[in-house]
Structure 1
Amino acid sequence: MTGWVEEATGFERLDSGARSRLERLSPISLPRGTALFHPGEAAKGFVIVLTGRIDVFLTGPSGRDILLYAVEPGGSCVQTTLGLLGGEDYSGEAVTATDVRAVLIPKDEFLSLMEGSPAFRAFVFSAFAVRMQGMLHLLERVAFQRVESRLAAALLDRAEGEVVRATHQELATAIGSAREVVSRRLDALARSGLVATERGAVRIRDRNGLSRLAAVQD
């Protein structure tokens, strides 16, 4: 019978020894909205996401959240990697954005695999590098891109067909802004004919226009 390692994205070159050790671990199912860690907690293990998405947030002194990144199949959590390798406590919070099927590699097993399996180590560092690049892009967008452009990009990224099912607060968290600001910008986009706002959703009316707006830099 095929084990979960065969499902895992990025483990195609894993050596047989590491594969055998990982197959002893059993996948777990986590319902949407499950909190996986909070600020100040220590990392207990490395999560391999098989299906679904985990969102990692950072909360500022004002209480405003920003979405740092999402962990999906083949990805990794920067904060967890830093915690396991460097001993740093979490500064952010992770919550399952969808139902998630995942495997938790305990800290001791993770460190042993990092030391003894070049293929596993390559997976971890490759995923870490991709995630760090994504965070640099996030920093660049927040620092240099207008709110309207970030909002347009977020709408296009989250759209299912022509509908984005998200509250104003969820969109604000995704782009690192305040709910009131997002509400005003959505009203402006609606007046421009780019979107139509609905309760708990935004309908895209002009995808090309949103794409042009998303590409605008300050």
Structure 2
Amino acid sequence: MNDLTLLTDQFPLLQQLDEVGLAILSRAQRVQLPADQVVFHQGSACTHFIIVVSGVVKVLGRNANGRELILYRIENQGSCVLTTSCLLGAEDYPAEGITETEVTAFLIPLSEFQRAIAESEGLRRFIFDSYGERLAKLIGLVQEIAFERIEKRLARYLIEHVGPGFVLLRSHQEIADELGTAREVVSRQLKQFEQKEWVALSRNQVLFLNKSAVKRAAKES
């Protein structure tokens, strides 16, 4: 399977591109990245539009004290909202991207990205449809952090990520990074769940004892 066929098979919107769009895609650079590799650094120049066809890239912000917040993940068949924003605004990256798994992606250089916006209706629609979808999810995260109680957010996180045997294998710090809060806040809230006999805690592990109660907490207003 050639690169152009791989892209059009993965993304239905790309199957009806005009000649300009197809020409741009045919020149995209295919890259294979190992897990735990930095894709872009916070503060670095944005030089390529990124299309992920397999694997996962996490995008996280980091403040001056080193505290991290996972903003979102670019997963199979996805593009990066920050990359699009930086390319459109000629800005440096405000966050960092790191592969969580092996990743296959395609890179379109800035000059070709600008041509796509100006000359290819189909590729322009693909770029902005992806941008709008992921921007909405990012705004949803901001609203959660700003307005929802940590008890509800933590309960929802536990329900969404629990594994086989009703066990979640995560450290308190990892959960805090996902939720955009401090480890101490997560530890305190998990301890309250344990005191209510909803969960049992051990090192890097949360065992569900009363999943129904956790579900109710995740849905409470």
Equivalent AA in structure 1 for residue 159 of structure 2: L
Q: Say how many residue pairs are matched.
A: 217
Q: 1:185 to 1:40 in 2, by over 3 A?
A: same
Equivalent AA in structure 1 for residue 130 of structure 2: A
Distance 2:26 2:213 in 1: 48
Q: 1:127 to 1:206 in 2, by over 3 A?
A: farther
* Residue 138 (structure 1) aligns with: 141
Matched, 1:6 2:2: no
Distance 1:127 1:194 in 2: 39
Tell me the secondary structure at the aligned position of residue 58 of structure 1: strand
Stretches of structure 2 that go unaligned for 5 or more consecutive residues are none
Q: 1:106 to 1:159 in 2, by over 3 A?
A: farther
* Residue 168 (structure 1) aligns with: 172
Equivalent AA in structure 1 for residue 61 of structure 2: L
Which of 80, 90, 93 matches 1:90? 93
More helix by share: 2
Tell me the secondary structure at the aligned position of residue 51 of structure 2: strand
* Residue 203 (structure 2) aligns with: 199
Q: 1:210 to 1:27 in 2, by over 3 A?
A: farther
Instruction: Report matched runs for 1:43-192 at 5 Å.
Output: 43-161=46-164, 162-192=166-196
Distance 2:200 2:123 in 1: 46
Distance 1:207 1:69 in 2: 26
Tell me the secondary structure at the aligned position of residue 67 of structure 1: strand
8 Å CA contact 1:57, 1:93 repeated in 2: yes
Distance 1:89 1:159 in 2: 36
Q: How many angstroms does 1:20 deviate by?
A: 4.5
Q: 1:203 to 1:27 in 2, by over 3 A?
A: farther
Q: 1:22 to 1:184 in 2, by over 3 A?
A: same
* Residue 220 (structure 2) aligns with: 216
Which of 14, 17, 21 matches 1:15? 17
TM-score, normalization by structure 1:
0.89
Q: How many angstroms does 1:10 deviate by?
A: 4.7
8 Å CA contact 1:5, 1:11 repeated in 2: no
Tell me the secondary structure at the aligned position of residue 170 of structure 2: coil
Q: How many angstroms does 1:213 deviate by?
A: 1.2
Distance 2:102 2:206 in 1: 23
Instruction: Provide the identity percentage.
Output: 35
Q: How many angstroms does 1:39 deviate by?
A: 1.8
Q: Deviations over 1:131-172 (max 9, x none)?
A: 121122111111111111111122222233433332211110
Distance 1:50 1:74 in 2: 5
Tell me the secondary structure at the aligned position of residue 6 of structure 1: helix
C-alpha RMSD over aligned residues: 2.0
After TM superposition, the structure 1 stretch with the greater mean CA deviation from structure 2, 128-137 or 155-164, is 155-164
Tell me the secondary structure at the aligned position of residue 55 of structure 1: strand
Tell me the secondary structure at the aligned position of residue 11 of structure 1: helix
Q: 1:23 to 1:164 in 2, by over 3 A?
A: farther
Q: 1:169 to 1:110 in 2, by over 3 A?
A: same
